[in-house]
């Protein structure tokens, strides 16, 4: 099981990679810059290269997560800022050796014209990726929200990728809390999800899984992450079915679970490896 968690870059990019190793992680996620800003960062290229070399030497996989304000369906006044920020995220991620940068699926901008949101998403992705020549991919993450909300189905994710002019530069990130909250995965239907994803070609382009429990029942649309064991509505046997499924073989699992519930990330990783590491 390739497992890790989200790591702060307060000690730099190399520092984050070293922190991941100290937690016995074999994968990790980090913000490439300030998570609350769309500003373009003039990053330390030597630190980034050191991070990339360190990860390569230790077979440590990393992904990044775009800042919270990043939206693939921005208002017109934010469009350029989002494009510039995303290109900056891709550049930093590539320099650090990350395989992709996670971006949340877009949100509905006009209830009377739902197609306009998808069209804007595709336009944004094409604008960014037409300027990007690196190996690092944009990884579209499924949304939480009630069933039927934008970004909650595998069909949407796959179709947006297929309709982009640069689909080869796009992959996916599956968030288990989001999938559970939306009802995509209700804990009992993983076989159905796996079959549907296989038919659509979703799992061929899945690069990372955000491994999170959910504090609310399936289908309520509430995006509240919980720790894996004993803190949420997803049961151990349900996680077992997902984690041991052949469709997610070799996919890294990244914890985005709470830190204030009395368990450290090192302890949670140890628990998970003991349960599912083999």
128-142, 241-255, 259-273 — which is least confidently predicted? 259-273
Tokens found for residue 171 = 């992959």
The reply to whether 139 falls in a domain is: yes
Pairing of strands 27-30, 3-6: parallel
Whether the pLDDT of residue 278 is over 80: the answer is no
Q: Establish if 132 belongs to a structural domain.
A: yes
Residue 26, in any domain of the structure: no
pTM recorded for the entire structure:
0.97
Backbone angles phi, psi at 198, to 5 degrees: -65, -45
**CATH code of the domain covering residue 124:** 3.20.20.150
| Arithmetic mean of pLDDT, 209-221 | 97
| 3-state secondary structure at position 18 | helix
Across the chain, the runs of DSSP E, i.e. the strands, are 3-6, 27-30, 61-65, 100-104, 137-141, 170-175, 206-211, 213-214, 225-226, 253-255
**Residue 87 burial class via C-beta count within 10 angstroms: exposed 0-12, middle 13-18, buried 19 and up:** middle
Does any domain span residue 12? no
Asked if residue 177 is part of any domain, the answer here is yes
For residue 271, being part of any structural domain is answered with no
Q: Is 157 domain-assigned? A: yes
Q: Among residues 86, 182, 176, which one has the least CA distance to residue 134?
A: 86
Report which of 62, 82, 53 is spatially closest to residue 9, judged by C-alpha positions: 62
- Residue identified by tokens 């730099």 is 12
Give the pLDDT confidence of 102-130 residue by residue, as tens digits.
Answer: 999 999 998 888 899 999 999 999 999 99
Give residue 250's pLDDT: 93
Q: Name the domain count of the chain.
A: 1
- Distance between CA atoms of 92 and 94, rounded to whole angstroms? 5
Q: What are phi and psi of 266, to 5 degrees?
A: -60, -40
Band of residue 229 on the pLDDT scale cut at 50, 70, 90: very high
Domain range enclosing 202: 72-264
Does any domain span residue 277? no
pLDDT at 180: 98
Asked whether the predicted pLDDT for residue 257 surpasses 80, the reply is yes
Taking CA 202 as the corner, what is the angle to CA 31 and CA 5, rounded to the nearest 5 degrees? 30
The Cβ of residue 113 has, within 10 Å, a number of other Cβ atoms equal to: 10
């Amino acid at each position: 099981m390739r497992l890790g968690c989200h790591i702060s870059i307060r000690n730099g990019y190399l520092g984050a990679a070293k922190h991941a190793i100290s937690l016995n992680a074999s994968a990790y996620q980090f913000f490439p810059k300030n998570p609350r800003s769309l500003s373009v960062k003039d990053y330390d290229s030597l630190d980034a290269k050191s991070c990339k070399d360190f990860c390569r030497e230790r077979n440590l996989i990393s992904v990044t997560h775009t800042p919270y304000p990043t939206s693939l369906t921005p208002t017109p006044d934010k469009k350029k800022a989002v494009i510039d920020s995303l290109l900056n995220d891709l550049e930093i991620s590539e320099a650090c050796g990350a395989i992709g940068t996670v971006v949340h699926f877009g949100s509905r901008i006009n209830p009377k014209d739902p197609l306009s949101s998808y069209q804007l998403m595709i336009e944004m992705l094409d604008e960014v990726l037409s300027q990007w020549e690196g190996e690092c991919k944009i990884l579209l993450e499924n949304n939480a929200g009630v069933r039927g909300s934008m970004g909650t189905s595998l069909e949407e994710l796959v179709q947006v990728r297929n309709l982009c002019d640069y689909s080869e530069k796009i992959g996916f990130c599956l968030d288990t809390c989001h999938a559970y909250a939306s009802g995509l995965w209700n804990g009992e239907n993983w076989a159905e999800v796996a079959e549907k994803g296989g038919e659509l070609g979703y799992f061929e382009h899945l690069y990372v899984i955000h491994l999170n429990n959910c504090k609310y029942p399936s289908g309520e649309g509430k995006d509240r992450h919980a720790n894996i064991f004993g803190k949420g509505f997803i049961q151990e046997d349900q996680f077992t079915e997902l984690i041991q499924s052949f469709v997610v073989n070799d996919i890294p699992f990244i914890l985005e679970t709470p830190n204030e519930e009395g368990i450290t990330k090192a302890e949670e990783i140890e628990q998970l490896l003991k349960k599912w590491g083999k």
